[in-house]
Chain A
Amino acid sequence: MTYDFFYKLFGSQVIAAIIQSLLPLFVFILPFALFAVWLERKVSAHMQDRLGPMRVGWHGWLQTVADILKLIQKEDIIATANDKPLFNLAPVLVFVGTYAAFAAIPFTSAFIGSNLDLGVFFIVAVSGFVVAGILMAGWASNNKYSLLGAMRSAAQIISYEIPTVMVIITIVMITGTLNLNTLSQLQTGHFWNWMIFGGPVFGVSKFLMIPFMIISFGIIYISTLAEVNRTPFDIPEAESELVSGYHTEYSGMKFAMFFLAEYANMFAVSAIVTALFFGGYQSPIGYIGHLLGLPWLVPIEQLFWFTAKGLFFVFVQMWLRWTLPRLRVDQLMTACWKYLIPIAFADLIIIGLITLI
């Protein structure tokens, strides 16, 4: 929809495509990352009996802007022992992997970067870039801590993709679509149509499905937490062990790109969880726009609901981070291969049987 609008406005496909692809970055990802960093500081501060940033702007809301300005001005250090091309490429790759995932995320029914029929599949696939970027960063840094961090990270992200994909398969099996936009549209109406409550079908199977959907949601939330390297799975950048893991050697803007990618990724996975289980951009209680007969209000409401749901899960990620300790690398693998994958598999089969009823 937005693409058509820009096409009519500029009369050029190229310009419309460029604007369409840059829109999420400047309208959403950058402001969100800045906001999320500030939020993380505030959330942690209030959990820890302190105030957090208070000096720059009202309650320090400009603090992250100031930080980014500082990072831009900083010297970009490249040590002589670094593998220069890989070292420079790595942050870009990590950022691209994260950013590309936003292409298939439906923010509202009116705006989706690219309405792919393979939406979920695409997101899972491009997230693979992140692993390559992280491995590159660790290797090119020529630092043992970075290398250890990168190896852990690669092992972790790849392992946890399996339960994630299994849960996605569960949803796909029920709905028969990989398109996130269609998936969101399916869950329209009120909150009892959300996938977590058994989806838009009615009958006995819906109630049978609810407990298994909750299990599925638990699995995918834990796995996505591991995929974005957040506590209790922040092993790749375990501060107390590996200093800061694969981005130890990075400074200035390249460091900022890793940082930005991390926070953007947090929202990306929350958005996927939202779209799969919590109705995506759908309102839980119906739209004011429909009520007042103002159809243009609906997409705005949808954006609000989508952001609110996404932010809620981001908040939970922060909450967990500031509460829990960190697992050890072998315990992390145990949790994935011995618990999450078998449970996800059993869940998949049971839900499959329920849908047959």
Chain B
Amino acid sequence: MSIEVEEKISKLTEVQKRGNGLRTEHMVLNMGPQHPSTHGVLRLELELEGEIIKKVIPHIGYLHRCFEKHAEAMTYPQVVPYTDRMDYLGAMYNEFGYAVAVEKLLGIQVPERVDYIRVIMGELQRIASHLVALGTYGLDIGAFTPFLYCFRDREKILNLFEITCGARLLYNYIWVGGLSHDIHPDFVRLTKEFVTYFKPNIKELNDLLTNNKIFIDRTANVGVLPKETAINYGISGPNLRASGFKWDIRKDDTYSVYNKFDFDIPVGQGLMGTVGDCWDRYYLRVQEMEQSLRIIEQAIDQIPEGDVSSAIPKRIKPPVGQVYSRVENPRGELGYFIISNGGTSPFRVKVKGPSFVNLGIMDELSRGHMVADIIAILGSIDIVLGEVDR
């Protein structure tokens, strides 16, 4: 290279150097809010160089419904249906978390039967939620069929919920101090039938999608989230555990009757690639479904007799004070921070939602990957926009 050319090149700006003297620009691609795989109304602003991602800015708020402000204008029991609408795929667990928080504030103990039913419902909900996550993840990668298989199985869980409380998506079932209805006489039998029906289907899903070569190629070593980064970003739930950190609130800060059951906490092992890659996050959810089935199997035989509505207070008026209570919902740590000023409605309800926190990692994980990978990464984080925006 001659000296003049070198001189010329040294005068070029960074942007021009990239294009060998030609001026090049990054393309800004707007993904969402109307896009088939942003899992709702998320808008991602992507800065691309060719197909390589340089930067990702998630824009949220398209589904903002003022839940927290709204809660201040309602009595404590009236808040329950609104918690359903946050994480609409894990509605049962949102109620569960809220009920646990308010009960802690009130200082009441619920009958054991209520706790058992809550745990069963919560774990069924976890399976249902993970089924949606796994199914739609397959859809994101391009496999359409596992999606429908997962929804077929989820339908069975929704049927169980329907015979219990009449609703299939937003239940208003777990109330402060109890439950809205007792379980259906057939519930125990049907749940057992579901467990035996569902176990082989996990294997089917593994054969069809989990161990598929193309699927592994697409997800292994993609979007690797190291343990330290995950902790720094406050990631929780399956995403944190997939990075190899054993942390589950059901065990580590137990609530309800979870300490009575024997179950394992799976962690990511990097079976197909690096620990904390997309495949690990995916497979962890598969393993969690198996553990949830174990919990259900143990709990369903031990449901004690009793009344589910005896502990429901006639008028909920907690003493002045505040409480922070957290539960492990299908997506991670769901925390409720409630301040009471002694009235019948909360002074403040602050929700720490797992999806919102987990979404923050998007930019960190996506840089340097391709457009197709951003779909894989977003799907593996498994967000629900209803809870991100609240």
Interface residues of A (CB under 8 A from B): 44, 47-50, 144-145, 148, 231-232, 234-235, 238-243, 322-331
Contact = CB atoms under 8 A, between A and B. Distances in A.
Contacts of A47: 145
Interface string B137-179: 0111111110011001000000000000000000000000000
A325 B212 contact: yes
Contacts of B264: none
Contacts of A327: 214, 217-218
A234 B142 contact: yes
A329 B362 CA distance: 21
B370 A240 contact: no
Contacts of B372: 235, 238, 241, 326, 328-329
Given A239-B36, A240-B139, A327-B217, A322 B373 contact: no
B29 interface: yes
Nearest to A47: B145
B212 to A, nearest CB: 6
Contacts of B149: 48-49
A12 to B, nearest CB: 51
A230 to B, nearest CB: 11
A241 B37 contact: yes
B190 interface: no
Nearest to B148: A48
Contact of A232 (B35, B37, B142, B370): B142
B140 A240 contact: yes
Contacts, number: 79
A325 B51 contact: no
Q: Which 7 A-B pairs have the closest CB atoms?
A: A326-B142, A325-B143, A240-B37, A325-B141, A48-B148, A325-B142, A328-B372
Nearest to B372: A328
A243 B215 CA distance: 20
B143 A241 contact: no
B209 A325 contact: yes
A331 B220 CA distance: 13
Interface string B197-212: 0000000000011001
A144 B143 contact: no
B383 to A, nearest CB: 15
Contacts of A324: 142-143, 212, 214
Contacts of A331: 217-218
A328 B149 CA distance: 24
Interface of B: 27, 29-30, 35-37, 51, 138-145, 148-149, 152, 208-209, 212, 214-215, 217-218, 370-373, 375
Contact of A238 (B29, B138, B142): B142
A242 to B, nearest CB: 8
A174 to B, nearest CB: 32
Contacts of A145: 29
Contacts of B30: 144
Contact of A328 (B27, B145, B373): B373
A48 B51 contact: no
A325 B35 contact: no
A231 B144 CA distance: 10
Specify which of A50, A240, A325 lies most central, judged by the most chain B CB atoms within 10 Å of its CB: A325
29 contacts: A44-B144, A44-B145, A47-B145, A48-B144, A48-B145, A48-B148, A49-B148, A50-B148, A144-B29, A234-B142, A238-B142, A239-B36, A239-B142, A240-B36, A240-B37, A240-B139, A240-B142, A241-B37, A241-B372, A322-B144, A323-B208, A324-B142, A324-B212, A324-B214, A325-B142, A325-B214, A325-B218, A330-B370, A331-B217
A187 B295 CA distance: 63
A324 B214 CA distance: 7
Contact of A325 (B36, B138, B370, B373): B138
Contacts of A238: 142, 372
A156 B215 CA distance: 20
A211 to B, nearest CB: 23
Contacts of B375: 240-241
A242 B214 CA distance: 19
Nearest to B27: A144
Contacts of A148: 29, 51, 371
Given A325-B212, A326-B218, 7 more contacts: A49-B152, A148-B51, A231-B142, A235-B372, A240-B139, A323-B208, A324-B212
Specify which of B51, B139, B215 lies most central, judged by the most chain A CB atoms within 10 Å of its CB: B51
Contacts of B209: 325
Nearest to B152: A49
A331 B217 CA distance: 8
A326 B141 contact: yes
A241 B51 CA distance: 12
A323 B138 CA distance: 11
A257 to B, nearest CB: 23
B145 A323 contact: yes
Nearest to A321: B144
B271 to A, nearest CB: 18
Contacts of B371: 148, 241-242
Nearest to A326: B142
Nearest to B140: A240
A322 B145 contact: yes
Contacts of B208: 323
A50 B151 CA distance: 12
A42 to B, nearest CB: 14
A77 B145 CA distance: 32
Given A239-B36, A240-B375, A241-B372, A325 B148 contact: no
A236 to B, nearest CB: 12
Specify which of A48, A49, A235, A324 lies most central, judged by the most chain B CB atoms within 10 Å of its CB: A324
Specify which of B29, B36, B141, B144 lies most central, judged by the most chain A CB atoms within 10 Å of its CB: B144
